[in-house]
Structures are given as structure tokens and as C-alpha cells.
Amino acid sequence: MAFNLWHNALELLNNVAKKVNLDQVAHKRLSKCVRELTVSIPVKLDNGSFDVFTGYRVQHNTHRGPTKGGIRFHQDVTLDEVKALAMLMTWKCAVVGIPYGGAKGGVICDPSKMSIGEIERLARRYTSEIITMIGPERDIPAPDMNTNAQVMAWIMDTYSMDKGYVVPGVVTGKPVSIGGSQGREEATGRGVTYTALNTLKHFNMDIEDTSVVIQGYGNVGRATAELLYKEGCKIVGVGDVYGSIYNPHGLDIAKLGKHLTKTGTVAKYSDADSIENKDLLELKCDVLIPAALEGQIREDNAEAIKSKVIIEAANGPVTPGADNILRQKNICIVPDILANAGGVTVSYFEWVQGLQSYFWSKREVNLKLRDIMTKAFYDVLAISEKENVDMRMAAYMLAVGRVAEAIKIRGLYP
């Protein structure tokens, strides 16, 4: 069957529902997204013609608070993908205990083939099309794949122009100059790093002896590589869409950064062997960190994975079928809804700082992030040990339990 992230997300929900004997009402409600909006987005192109793009904004659940989640610009975006990612955001916010439900947005487009001006016009018109759905008390977008602080600034500006006054709290991941938080840009990678360090500690693995492979070298993959390198890990392999590289002695991540700035890719870096992208995931290493798209580790390549641990920096990188194979191989997977929750956690800090107009230092942000990520890690680990389940099931038991509790307490309207 073709890969479908929404079907995978439902399968995970059904598995945990069975395990915890989830209340039927909660199960039924959580199997659907509360709001799904499809919009068409006309954009004038630089050559004078115009195109109509398709975009989505989906809110999965609102029981624990307003909804929260990124917006991605990618040629393969589908409504099912956005629904699944919205559901994952619900669980992610619940695992780390921040007061949001999950949402996600996406626009079908290939930003690598668009000019800055075209991307700005697309972002602004998309914002205008979903404007009834978003707002600081309602639904708060943030960056995701191929969107960044600049795109958030355009969304914030468009929303503010519509309201007639400035509303910084409508998005997070904004530039610091207009109310963004210190540390937000690298927050997902930093959270992945704290999770990786907690995992190594749990398995009594020595940081200096740990070899790491990272798939994806965008915002998340790159920050993770740089931070783990600083901690002393050996980053032996990395890759992006243009190609992958391998050096068993460890890559010089600072030097690789210069190559990346110059060429726009990690591929063809001189102090490493070039390898096929599909071989990157199968390298021998201690920690494998998929930090790219979903569905990268599937039934057809899971058997070949040789790492001891997988830390899911991407959303949904391992399919449920692959999960079973990896479990039999005794590979510990630290799931996305725990491992990559650092981004939304600092988004929460940004939202709180914005509401109070009182801003924190980077040190304060990073310390609070570490506290939240570490508490969530040990909360999940405790359930995993007590219930004798893997880390994914444990994280789902924690998250779904918290959301189900909110559904029960709030009751049904009318």
C-alpha cells in the first residue's frame, strides 16, 4: 500500500487506544481533525503570468488549549499529510506538557524554484485565505519545512494589517527584532540534542565514543550536528537532497558549515567520501538521526539499519511496519513527539514572552528548554519501564492520556 502518513497516525492512535483501553468518545473524537480548510492561493509570478497554488490549514484538537503547529512549503504536501502532522502536534504538546492542541499548515509549491518576491506573495495570500482560522488565542503557526523567520514576519505583518494593529502573538519563530524569542531558530535541534544526551546517559554510552549519522541538513539537522559535535560526538555521516557524505573518523562540522555556505549543500565536501543517499541510513553508527521528511525508514530498508539508537528529529520518519522490524532488532527509537518537541516548546516560550511583553535571555530560554525536554524524557522512560513498552508507545500513552483527560473533564457541548 502506498505510504500515507495519516493512515500511519491513525494506526498509532488505535494501538495506544487498545493498550490503555481509551474511552470510546475520546477515541472517536481524536480520530478526526476538528477543522480542515483547503484554500486556493492566486499568486502573480515574476514573469507577469500567475499561478494558483493549493494550501491547507488543519486543527486536530483543541481540548488542552489553542492549536499550534508549523506551516510547510513543499511540492509533495497533501491534505492527509497535513492532518497527520496536526495530530502529531497534539501529542507533541501533550508529551512536553505545554497548553496547546495540534495544528499544521502546508502549501503545495517548490520554493527552490521560486523567487523571494513570489514566496512573499504566496505567504501573504495564504495568510489572508486562512485568516479566519488563526490568531494568538486561536491557532498559532510557526516555521516548518522550507519556511523560516522571514516567512513568519510576512504572516505576522499580513495578519496585523488586516486587524489594523500589530499582533506579534499570531505566529512564533519570528525574527527577534519583531518579538521573536532568543534561541527559537535552533530550538528543535537543541531539543534533539538534549534528548540524544539523555538517551546516551540512560544507556551508559560515552559521548566521545558515540558515532552519529544525520539525514537532512536543514534547520533541524544542522543545529543538531553542530550541537552534538560541540558536546564531543563523532558525526560520521550526513546528507541532504543533493547527496550524502561519510567519514568514519568524524566530520569537521565547522569546516563543513563553510562548505555548505559556499555551495548550498553538504554534498561533495572534500574531507569525506561521497555516498548514495539511500546508503546513509544504513551506515554503521551508534545514533541515527533522521531529520528530513517522513517515511524514510520503511519495511524495505529497516532490516539494513545498523544503529543502536534512532532519535526521530523529523516528524514520522519511521513507518509502523519498520517500527516492528527495528523493535525485533533491539534498536531503541526515541519518537518524534518527544525528540523534536524542542521547537514547539520554545515557540511556547515565545508566545508567553510576547503576551507579557517581557523577554528572556538566551541562557534562560535554553535552561528552561533543557528542563522541559529532560522531564519529558524521564516521564516517558518511566512509563516505558513500568509498562514494559517501547518509548513510542510510552510517549503515546502519556500524550493520549493527557488529552483524553481534558476531553473527559470538559465534557461534550451542547
Please report how close the Cβ of residue 268 comes to ligand GLU at its closest, in angstroms.
29
Give me the residue whose beta carbon is nearest to ligand GLU: 70
* Signed CA dihedral, 196, 201, 207, 213: sign only: negative
When asked if residue 90 is in the footprint of ligand GLU (CB under 6 A), the reply is: no
Give the angle subtended at the CA of 151 by the CAs of 150 and 155, to the nearest 5°: 115
The interface region with ligand GLU, picked from 16-24, 301-309, 343-351, 382-390 by CB under 6 A, is: 343-351
When asked if residue 102 is in the footprint of ligand GLU (CB under 6 A), the reply is: no
- Cβ distance to ligand GLU smaller for residue 17 or 344: 344
Phi/psi at 349 (5° precision): -60, -40
The interface region with ligand GLU, picked from 64-72, 196-204, 277-285, 302-310 by CB under 6 A, is: 64-72
Q: What is the CA radius of gyration of the chain?
A: 20
Q: Are 95 and 398 in contact (CB under 8 A)?
A: yes
- Cβ distance to ligand GLU smaller for residue 54 or 148: 148
19 alpha carbon, distance to own chain's centre: 26
**Amino acid making up residue 143:** P
The interface region with ligand GLU, picked from 117-125, 291-299, 321-329, 341-349 by CB under 6 A, is: 341-349
Please report how close the Cβ of residue 173 comes to ligand GLU at its closest, in angstroms.
6
When asked if residue 344 is in the footprint of ligand GLU (CB under 6 A), the reply is: yes
Residue 224 CA to residue 207 CA, distance in Å, equals 14
The interface region with ligand GLU, picked from 13-21, 251-259, 319-327, 338-346 by CB under 6 A, is: 338-346
Residue 392 CA to residue 88 CA, distance in Å, equals 12
Beta bridge pairs of residue 71: 105, 143
80 alpha carbon, distance to own chain's centre: 16
When asked if residue 315 is in the footprint of ligand GLU (CB under 6 A), the reply is: yes
Burial call 361-370: b when 16+ CB within 10 Å, e when fewer: eeeebbebbb
Give 177's DSSP letter. G
Please report how close the Cβ of residue 92 comes to ligand GLU at its closest, in angstroms.
6
Please report how close the Cβ of residue 343 comes to ligand GLU at its closest, in angstroms.
4
When asked if residue 169 is in the footprint of ligand GLU (CB under 6 A), the reply is: no
Q: Please indicate whether residue 18 is annotated as part of the active site.
A: no
Q: HSE (CB half, 13 Å, CA atoms) of 135?
A: 8
When asked if residue 172 is in the footprint of ligand GLU (CB under 6 A), the reply is: yes
When asked if residue 179 is in the footprint of ligand GLU (CB under 6 A), the reply is: no
Please report how close the Cβ of residue 71 comes to ligand GLU at its closest, in angstroms.
8
- Cβ distance to ligand GLU smaller for residue 84 or 266: 84
Full 3-state SS string of 189-232: HHHHHHHHHHHHHHCCCCHHHCEEEEECCCHHHHHHHHHHHHHC
Q: Are 232 and 255 in contact (CB under 8 A)?
A: no
When asked if residue 68 is in the footprint of ligand GLU (CB under 6 A), the reply is: yes
Q: Which of 118, 144, 185, 286 forms a contact with ligand GLU (CB under 6 A)?
A: 144
Q: Which of 69, 179, 221, 335 forms a contact with ligand GLU (CB under 6 A)?
A: 69
- The torsion of the CA quartet 213, 316, 94, 326, rounded to 10 degrees, works out to -70
Give 181's DSSP letter. P
Whether the ω angle into residue 414 lies within 30 degrees of 0, i.e. cis, is yes
When asked if residue 343 is in the footprint of ligand GLU (CB under 6 A), the reply is: yes
Q: Which residue of the set 92, 104, 174, 234 is catalytic? A: 104
Q: Which of 210, 347, 366, 384 forms a contact with ligand GLU (CB under 6 A)?
A: 347
Please report how close the Cβ of residue 345 comes to ligand GLU at its closest, in angstroms.
8
Residue 52 CA to residue 324 CA, distance in Å, equals 41
Catalytic residue numbers read 104
Binding site for ligand GLU (CB under 6 A): 68-70, 92, 142, 144, 172, 315, 340, 343-344, 347
